[in-house]
Each structure stands twice: as structure tokens, then as C-alpha cells.
């Protein structure tokens, strides 16, 4: 049988502008996500954004290209990319995280170990570089648990029926102003930085995402999206502390206002921007695909039945690479001691760990005990780490095995976050 290394060559290289390998990687990645093959302008735009994020690309090339196929075009049969941004782990701490994206394998090359090889090599490099955690957002939910990733945050799509009376129960503060999206980028970046600094679970946005977020360069021609509208909230101090970007689409039987980006640094800005959206005329419904699970809007609406959850799914998946560094970085809500036995096929987090918290800080060290208080796999540990998923719930799901009575409740108290985990970054 032909070995993997005899069949494929893995190449890992930094993204570059006007580079044939980078352009071929983009083409193969777009094929994997069923996107049209880009124009030269589109490729140049993708390259600029990727270089701005200092992304590292990996591709798998067949050692014996098949004549007449995409192999002859020097396209890789699989793609994978990684880069570094910060993850808010609570208490204002922004921990460097290893982000993974652009994962594709051509259907003609599935089940040959390509993804496993790319993933295990990449995680090993990240661990060697001293990064404590890897993160991704997944197009498919059944792929990444086998590599130790667990769902840490979820997101909802909400729809508000504007044919019902939709008003807020209380008054808002500050002022809301409509602004051209072409001039929104500097203030949007500043607002996001403040949102990121106050919100556990948030991941800093890729540098290259802003022009598409704000519709400044989209599509194959990289021209502005003129369907987008923008607004900002200004606090009584005069400082902008929130913004929203949206479009209104006419359909045969309804007119839909779609929120494409909503970021606020204060609770006051969140409600005030929603008050604006609810007041826009000639709209039958409002949709938003990145709403938080614990949404204050549900409680702020006079008629909360006007809001419905039309979809919910996993958002950020986390994979711990350095257990002591990861747990020591986050704050702790209660004093306690728990030992946790972690299984990890890749070895990065494997072992029995003693988690000790006191006075809001914690330490983690290897424990020599005959039987740990709790047993989990590394994917479940990733779900538990920041407190966004309740250990009691995971125990009921059979993913946390309690060996000492009361240990699950102790861990629950220790890991409770100061604010609900939330994030609006996809990558």
C-alpha cells in the first residue's frame, strides 16, 4: 500500500501577494466551499486580507498529478490555514489563541488521512510555539471533536415580527445616528476593541475581515456593497459605543431587515440600537444570525413573543493544548479544589490535573491520585474551560463522569464566568 508521504506532499507557507501557490490555494479552498472561482481582482483582495492576518497556509499536493485534472493546474487537493488572534478568557485577559480556518479536502481524496495529518501537524506546531488553545468555527459539526475540539459558545438566529407591536419596556439613553458605511470603519474597530475587552468568549476579528463586514470590498470585483446601511450609538459623553450594519430586502410577500453586524461596548448602546431597528418603517420582519443565547432583548421587549429563535448552532470550538497555562489565565468565581482526569489521543492535554482556586486566581498541576474526582475527554474540557457550558449539563449528557459526589457542583461554582460567553467573530 502506498504511504501517505509517497502519495502527497504537504506544503506549509505564509500567504503572499502575487504568488502562484497562494492563488492556487485560494482556488482550491473556494472549490471546497462551493464558491465561484475568483477573478484576478478577487484573488488580489483575498491575498491582501490573508497577508494582513499573517496567515500560514497548508496544502496537500499529489506527488503524481493526474493528467487533465485540477492537479495539472497545480491546485492542492486539500487546504488548511492558521493564524493567531486573542481570545477573551474572562477578567479582561486576552489570551493568544491559534485559529484554524479554510479546511477543505476534495471529495476524490477523502478518507486518506489528509485532514488528520494537516490537523495533527498544525496543532503540534502551535503547541511547540507555546499557544495554550486552538479555536475554530465549523461548517460541519461532526468533524472536529475527534481532534479534541469541544463546543464552547453557541449562537442564535432570531426573527422579530414587525407586524406585532414591538416596543421596549423602558427608555434608552444617548443618541443614535445614521452614518455612511464607507466612513464607519475607524469607529467600528474602536467599538469592537471595547466589546472584545469586556466580553468573555470573544475572539478578536481578523484584520482582513473589516472591509467585508462593512461592505467596503465585496464580490469578485471587490466593489462596495451599496445595499448596506449603518448607524451608531453615541453615549451622553459623546463617545460612540455601538454600531449596527443592516440591509433591507424586498421579497414577494415580505420586506426583511437583515442585521449583518451589531457590536456594542455597553448595554445602553445595545438597547438603543435595537430601538432604532424596531422603529424602521415598511419592514415586516427583522433577522439577525449572530444573536447571543442569553439575550437581554428578550426581557426588554414589551411583547417578547414577537421574537422567535429560528435557528441555533455551535459557534466557537476550543481545543486545549496547554492545560496549566489555559486554566491559569482565566479568573475563578469561587474557591475550590477538583481533580480531573483528561483523555487526549493527541497527548497535549492528557493526564490527571488538580485545579485549585482561591481569591479569584487558580493554579493547575499534575496530580498523583488513584482516582480523579471527574473524568472527561479533551473535547469536553474545551467546552468546560471558560464556563460557557454547564458541567451539570455535560454530566447529564454523559460527557462528565463524576467519581466523587459533589465534584461537578464544585467545578460549576469555580468556573462560572462573570458575564455570559459571547462572540461575533467567525473565521
Q: Is 19 a member of any domain?
A: yes
**Same domain (yes/no): 164, 299:** yes
Q: Is 142 a member of any domain?
A: no
Phi, psi of 359 (to 5 degrees): 65, 30
CATH of the domain at 116: 3.40.630.30
**Same domain (yes/no): 302, 328:** no
**Same domain (yes/no): 36, 86:** yes
In the three-class reduction of DSSP (H, G, I as helix; E, B as strand; rest coil), residue 116 is classed as helix
- What is the extent of the structural domain holding 367? 322-415
Angle, helices 40-52 vs 20-32, to 10°: value is 100
Q: Is 136 a member of any domain?
A: no
| Strand arrangement, sheet containing 307-314 | 175-179, 229-234, 240-250, 255-264, 285-291, 154-161, 307-314
Q: Is 140 a member of any domain?
A: no
The mean per-residue pLDDT over the stretch 72-78 comes to: 90
What's the confidence (pLDDT) of residue 426?
92
* 5, 56, 327, 89: CA torsion to nearest 10: -150
**Same domain (yes/no): 351, 404:** yes
**Same domain (yes/no): 306, 332:** no
**Same domain (yes/no): 249, 127:** no
Q: Is 421 a member of any domain?
A: no
**pLDDT higher than 80, residue 1:** no
The mean per-residue pLDDT over the stretch 192-202 comes to: 98
Q: Is 141 a member of any domain?
A: no
Q: CB atoms < 10 A from the CB of 170, how many?
A: 9
**Same domain (yes/no): 164, 289:** yes
**pLDDT higher than 70, residue 220:** no
The mean per-residue pLDDT over the stretch 15-36 comes to: 91
CATH of the domain at 330: 3.30.1050.10
Residue that terminates a domain, selected from 313, 344, 367: 313
**Same domain (yes/no): 282, 180:** yes
**Same domain (yes/no): 109, 203:** no
The mean per-residue pLDDT over the stretch 343-367 comes to: 97
What's the confidence (pLDDT) of residue 219?
66
Q: Is 148 a member of any domain?
A: no
What's the confidence (pLDDT) of residue 322?
98
**pLDDT higher than 80, residue 38:** no
Strand residue runs (E) in 118-264 = 133-137, 150-151, 154-161, 175-179, 229-234, 240-250, 255-264
C-alpha cell at 424: 461575533
Domain total of the chain: 3
DSSP track, 261-297: EEEESSHHHHHHHHHHHHH-SS-SEEEEEEE-SS-HH
- The distance of Cα 56 from the centroid of its chain, to the nearest Å, equals 18
Confidence of residue 65 (pLDDT cuts 50, 70, 90): confident
Question: Mean pLDDT, the chain, as a whole number?
Answer: 95
What's the confidence (pLDDT) of residue 223?
82
**Same domain (yes/no): 303, 349:** no
C-alpha cell at 357: 482556586
**Same domain (yes/no): 281, 163:** yes
The mean per-residue pLDDT over the stretch 35-53 comes to: 83
Scan for cell 424586498, then name that residue. Answer: 250
**pLDDT higher than 80, residue 362:** yes
**Same domain (yes/no): 89, 10:** yes
Confidence of residue 217 (pLDDT cuts 50, 70, 90): confident
C-alpha cell at 122: 498544525
**pLDDT higher than 90, residue 39:** no
Task: Select from 258, 242, 256 the least CA-distant residue to 290.
Answer: 258
The mean per-residue pLDDT over the stretch 338-350 comes to: 98
Strand partners, 161: 285
In the three-class reduction of DSSP (H, G, I as helix; E, B as strand; rest coil), residue 188 is classed as helix
**pLDDT higher than 80, residue 191:** yes
Q: Is 377 a member of any domain?
A: yes
| Strand arrangement, sheet containing 8-14 | 8-14, 56-62, 78-90, 93-105, 133-137, 316-320, 150-151
Question: CA 338 to CA 63: how far, in whole Å?
Answer: 50
Amino acid at each position: 500500500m502506498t504511504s501517505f508521504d509517497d502519495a502527497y506532499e504537504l506544503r506549509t507557507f505564509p500567504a503572499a501577494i502575487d504568488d502562484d501557490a497562494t492563488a492556487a490555494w485560494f482556488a482550491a479552498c473556494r472549490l471546497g466551499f462551493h464558491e465561484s472561482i475568483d477573478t484576478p481582482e478577487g484573488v488580489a483582495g483575498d491575498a491582501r486580507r490573508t497577508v494582513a492576518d499573517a496567515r500560514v497556509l497548508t496544502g496537500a499536493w499529489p506527488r503524481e498529478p493526474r493528467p487533465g485534472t485540477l492537479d495539472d493546474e497545480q491546485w492542492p487537493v486539500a487546504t488548511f490555514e492558521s493564524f493567531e488572534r486573542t481570545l477573551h478568557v474572562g477578567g479582561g485577559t486576552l489570551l493568544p489563541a491559534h485559529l484554524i480556518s479554510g479546511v477543505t479536502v476534495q471529495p476524490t481524496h477523502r478518507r486518506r488521512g489528509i485532514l488528520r495529518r494537516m490537523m495533527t501537524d498544525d496543532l503540534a506546531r502551535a503547541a511547540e510555539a507555546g499557544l495554550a488553545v486552538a479555536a475554530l468555527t465549523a461548517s460541519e459539526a461532526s468533524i472536529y471533536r475527534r481532534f479534541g475540539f469541544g463546543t464552547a459558545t453557541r449562537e442564535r438566529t432570531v426573527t422579530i415580527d414587525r407586524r406585532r407591536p414591538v416596543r421596549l419596556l423602558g427608555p434608552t439613553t444617548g443618541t443614535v445616528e445614521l452614518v455612511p458605511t464607507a466612513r464607519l470603519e475607524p469607529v467600528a474597530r474602536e467599538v469592537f476593541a471595547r466589546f472584545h475587552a469586556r466580553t468573555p468568549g470573544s475572539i478578536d476579528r481578523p484584520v482582513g475581515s473589516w472591509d467585508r463586514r462593512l461592505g467596503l470590498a465585496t464580490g469578485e470585483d471587490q466593489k462596495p456593497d451599496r445595499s448596506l446601511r449603518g448607524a451608531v450609538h453615541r453615549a451622553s459623553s459623546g463617545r460612540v459605543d455601538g454600531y449596527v450594519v443592516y440591509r433591507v430586502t424586498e421579497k414577494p410577500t415580505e420586506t426583511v431587515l437583515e442585521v449583518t453586524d451589531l457590536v456594542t461596548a455597553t448595554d445602553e448602546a445595545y438597547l438603543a440600537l435595537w430601538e432604532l431597528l424596531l422603529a424602521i418603517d415598511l419592514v415586516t420582519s427583522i433577522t439577525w444570525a449572530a444573536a447571543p443565547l442569553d439575550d437581554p432583548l428578550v426581557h426588554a421587549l414589551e411583547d417578547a413573543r414577537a421574537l422567535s429563535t429560528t435557528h441555533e448552532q455551535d459557534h466557537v470550538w476550543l481545543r486545549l493544548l496547554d492545560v496549566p497555562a489555559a486554566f491559569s489565565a482565566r479568573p475563578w468565581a469561587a474557591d475550590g479544589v477538583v481533580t480531573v482526569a483528561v483523555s487526549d489521543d493527541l497527548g497535549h492535554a492528557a493526564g490527571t490535573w488538580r485545579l485549585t482556586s482561591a481569591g479569584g486566581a487558580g493554579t493547575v498541576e499534575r496530580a498523583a491520585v488513584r482516582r480523579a474526582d471527574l473524568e472527561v475527554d479533551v473535547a469536553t474540557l474545551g467546552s468546560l474551560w471558560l464556563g460557557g457550558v454547564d458541567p451539570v449539563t455535560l454530566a447529564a449528557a454523559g460527557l462528565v463522569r463524576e467519581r466523587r459526589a459533589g465534584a461537578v457542583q464544585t467545578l460549576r461554582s469555580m468556573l462560572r464566568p462573570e458575564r455570559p460567553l459571547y462572540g461575533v467573530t467567525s473565521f
